[in-house]
Chain A
Amino acid sequence: MIDRKIPPIFKSIEEVKVLQAQELVLSNGVEVGYINAGTEKVLKLEIIMNAGVVDASHPAIAFAAADLIDKGTDSMSANQVATAFDTLGAYVNTEVNFDRTSLSVFCLSRNVEQVLELLLNVLLNAKFPQKELDNYINNQKQKMKVNLERVSYVAKKRFPALIFGSAHPYASTVELVDYDSLRLVDIVEFYTQKLLSKGMRVQASGDVNEQVLKLISNAFSPIELVPNSMVSFPKMVEMRARKQYIEKPNAVQSAIRIGKSLFNRTHTDYVKMQMVSTILGGYFGSRLMANIREDKGYTYGIGSAIVPLKHTGYFFLTTEVGKEVKDAALAEIYKEIKLLQEELITDQELKLVKNYVLGSFLKSVDGPFAQMDKYQLIKDSELNYDYFERYLQTVKNLTKEEVKELANKYLQIDSLSELVVG
């Protein structure tokens, strides 16, 4: 008979090999990062443009440009573009964040030549038809009206202004009325002056053989990019912590967001604080989950994270709780933060979190697409692959004293802003 009370012997992860992307720089300065790996005959192509929400004169312009870039070219209607990609079995996606805009496509290897040709046509000859803009505006307004009924959406939307100050670029957000003044000419200008500017990068992952690489380099070498006019970024000012309550009379739950502006990956304490945040609310067994969900049953979920941005970063925790237990939940959240500041974490818990984080990291570098995400991470943060080695060492060497010290240094209760919606 086996003794089921005794866990099997396990190995801690000592090393994680991160497969590095290779790079080539085209004559026009476009950098191509590529990873040729994987078992399936598929690949992902991504074009990363060096402008995002903060680079537009209004955030609505950046969002609209990203959405409309594949809605027609000089020679093709929006429907023709969509039909062409669909017929090739390709999945196109555009994304925009504060700092960057990306246009990406997943496709089968056998169609890569045609997909690439189409993708380039879309990128360089985007037409931005007025009708597509009208349609976009209508749909976005409808979507936003629905979203504004969601307490979690409202909390997410209003939170950056609370921690960065409403005038800060990272607090800028699109309001319903902004759609009424959204003009095509501004979108086109953003596209020609910002999206098609120097600093554009290309990423290819999956079945990226020599021939694919040649296709990419032939496709992107001739394109001309305008000089990049960087927006000057305001210096971060320390914001006084604030509390805000937005009432939603019919809500049965309240959304809670608590946090503060912090720093990004370039800061020496970033990885350590990421660990502190993981202990607090970054995984299923975290203290917040264990207390607020698994012990009290106040919520379906609660979590915390550090969000790295290009120029700074922020810490936040988020949950939705029954309206009647909102105050009790808040008290417990602050209690958990204080506990991190007052008591040393046990060796056992710290070991568990380290192993968990190392396991997640191992998983996060599994396969060519995940590996490409890691490449993008270091490019976005202007780091190099050494970062991951430092990351692993920092995780492994973190001490319980450091956890307490950092919780005190960065998570003082009176430095945290609090937003409740509902």
Chain B
Amino acid sequence: MIQFEKFSLRNGLRVIVHRDETTPIVAFNLLYDVGARDEDESKTGFAHLFEHLMFGGSVNIPNYDSPLQEVGGENNAFTSNDITNYYITLPKENIETAFWLESDRMLSLAFTEKSLEVQRNVVIEEFKQRYLNQPYGDVWLLLRPLAYTRHPYKWATIGKEIKHIEEATMEDVKSFFFKHYRPNNAILSVAGDISKEQIEKLAEKWFGDIPQGDIVPRDLPKEPKQLQARSLTVERDVPSDAIYKAYHICNRVDPNYYAIDLVSDILSRGDSSRLFESLIKEQELCSNVNAYITGDMDEGLFVISATANEGVSLEKVEDAIHRELELLNKNGVSDLELRKVKNKVESAHAFGNTSVLNKAMGLAIAELIVDASLVNQEMDFYQAVTTDQIQAYCQQVLVPTNCSTLYYKSNKSK
């Protein structure tokens, strides 16, 4: 059980406080409800580029990192298709520095041309390092637009193409900021040896006078139901053929989310999982195989990926995957299998709770999904999943017509 308290400021900033007296470290997590899904299709990669700009100095503080390092703190951030999340850990005595720094960035950024210029380059190098200069690095750049035809999940967080980042202007940057980086579009979560009263006072002092913004409710195009199998074949300079199969699944608040998450574990978590045992050990078709869900807020994907062994065709690998899914749809899963993956989820959860940063982040994300109390209910939701529910839901989603397949072929295998 993670005990927490919650309050809101007049400007709409939601604050969650969790007390953990056992640690000298405080975690400060500020989540903005903006991600790549909120971008314009002609200006993708913006939420992420913006995350970089957040470190280029704010209106009253020219350098974000130095003052934090000076008080013994560390920070980082990440952007996903759904959210942009900033987090700090620092000695509890110096918690106010986190409030000072984060509130000033929320008030306004410095918006210097130099910072924009440099971060454009940094992000372009990141694009190259992680997506282009890596074997199989562009898989998600290809798979997203195949799986999604309308919903903005069709582009990756890094952006559709480098050009969009190169073309970002200061005007774009400013309007993005004032549209999304407002207190009533953010959730602050603080965990550590601190009290609610202390956090209330600090939140009011530093965030209280930041004006709220005019947040336009999100109205994204819904992805139409996929009725026909789709596929794409590419050839790349990689050593082995690989296959990626993406099936549309429910959103984050649907009870079936927990069922399909457990299915992905049954298929590929650990050496006793079905796909590992069958495709790698028994049939020796693949050198690695993976099943996972994207975990998105809106309707997401269930993905199976596999790398074929030398001399094994992708068709053969795909047949083997299909057989496993048919088996799942026809016979479901055993009680023992379900118990096993539930146990693993339970211990992973308990381990997650040993870190204040994990707890702070979990609370903020839960609050965004429905309510912070979700962190304490999720284990029950996983426990509540039944073998019947799993089979019924698999039959609904793990079918060929709901699937987009990427055949990623090696140009060396010819």
Contacts and interface: CB of A to CB of B under 8 A. Distances in A.
Interface in B126-170: 126, 128-130, 132-136
Nearest to A90: B347
A11 B239 CA distance: 54
Nearest to A88: B343
Contacts of B307: 142, 146
Given A145-B240, A351-B70, A300 B136 contact: no
A363 B74 contact: yes
Interface residues of B, number: 83
Most chain-B Cβ atoms within 10 A of its Cβ — which of A82, A206, A422?
A82
A87 B340 contact: yes
A206 B355 CA distance: 13
Interface string A363-395: 100111100000000000000000000000000
B237 interface: yes
Interface in A144-179: 145-146, 148-151
Interface in B49-70: 59-61, 65-67, 69-70
A298 B287 contact: no
A363 B25 contact: yes
A285 B20 contact: no
Contact of B270 (A5, A82, A146, A151): A82
A5 B61 contact: yes
A83 B272 contact: yes
A212 to B, nearest CB: 16
B237 A283 contact: no
Interface in A18-42: 37-42
A253 B119 contact: no
Most chain-A Cβ atoms within 10 A of its Cβ — which of B124, B271, B277?
B271
Contacts of A321: 125
B274 to A, nearest CB: 11
A42 B100 contact: no
A294 B112 CA distance: 13
B347 A87 contact: no
Contacts of B238: 146, 149
A103 to B, nearest CB: 14
B271 A82 contact: yes
B91 interface: yes
B330 interface: no
A410 interface: no
19 contacts: A8-B94, A8-B99, A11-B91, A39-B353, A42-B351, A86-B273, A86-B340, A86-B344, A108-B343, A142-B239, A149-B237, A150-B133, A284-B69, A321-B125, A355-B72, A356-B69, A356-B72, A360-B72, A363-B89
A10 B70 contact: yes
Nearest to B353: A40
A-B residue pairs, 9 tightest by C-beta: A359-B72, A297-B121, A89-B343, A142-B287, A82-B271, A145-B239, A82-B272, A8-B96, A83-B272
B288 A139 contact: yes
Contacts of B340: 83, 86-87, 89
B254 interface: no
Given A145-B240, A362-B24, A108 B69 contact: no
Interface of A: 1-2, 4-5, 7-13, 37-42, 71, 78-79, 81-83, 85-91, 106-108, 135, 138-139, 141-143, 145-146, 148-151, 206, 250-253, 283-285, 293-300, 320-322, 351-353, 355-356, 358-360, 362-363, 366-369, 422
A1 B350 CA distance: 43
A293 B117 CA distance: 12
Given A11-B93, A42-B351, A150-B134, 8 more contacts: A8-B99, A86-B340, A86-B341, A89-B340, A142-B309, A145-B240, A251-B133, A253-B125
B42 interface: no
B403 to A, nearest CB: 25
Contact of B135 (A149, A300, A356): A149
Contacts of A356: 69-70, 72-74
B115 to A, nearest CB: 9
Nearest to B59: A4
Nearest to A140: B287
B206 interface: yes
B288 A362 contact: no
Nearest to A83: B272
B222 interface: no
A369 B339 CA distance: 27
A355 B74 CA distance: 11
Contacts of A251: 133
Contacts of B288: 139, 142-143
Nearest to A300: B126
A293 B122 contact: yes
Contacts of B206: 2
Interface string B65-96: 11101111111000000000000011101101
Contacts of B271: 71, 78-79, 81-82, 86
Nearest to B93: A11
B354 A40 contact: yes
B32 to A, nearest CB: 20
B198 interface: no
B70 A297 contact: no
B241 to A, nearest CB: 11
A7 B347 contact: no
B122 A87 contact: no
Nearest to B307: A142
A179 B118 CA distance: 45
Given A10-B93, A253-B133, A367-B355, A297 B119 contact: yes
Contact of B94 (A10, A87, A367): A10
Given A149-B135, A300-B126, A107 B347 contact: yes
Nearest to B202: A8
Contacts of B315: none
A31 B91 CA distance: 34
B107 interface: yes
A297 B239 contact: no
A91 B119 CA distance: 39
Contacts of B93: 10-11
B336 interface: yes
B107 A108 contact: no
Contacts of A146: 135-136, 238-240, 307
Given A11-B93, A106-B347, A293-B122, A322 B128 contact: yes
Given A300-B126, A362-B25, A11 B100 contact: no
B346 interface: yes
B205 interface: yes
Nearest to A295: B118
B391 interface: no
B280 interface: yes
B284 interface: yes
B74 A360 contact: yes
A367 B132 CA distance: 39
Nearest to B75: A284
A135 B288 CA distance: 11
A87 B73 CA distance: 39
Interface string B318-347: 000000000000000000100111011011
Contacts of B273: 86
Contacts of A12: 72
B281 interface: yes
Contacts of A86: 269-273, 340-341, 343-344
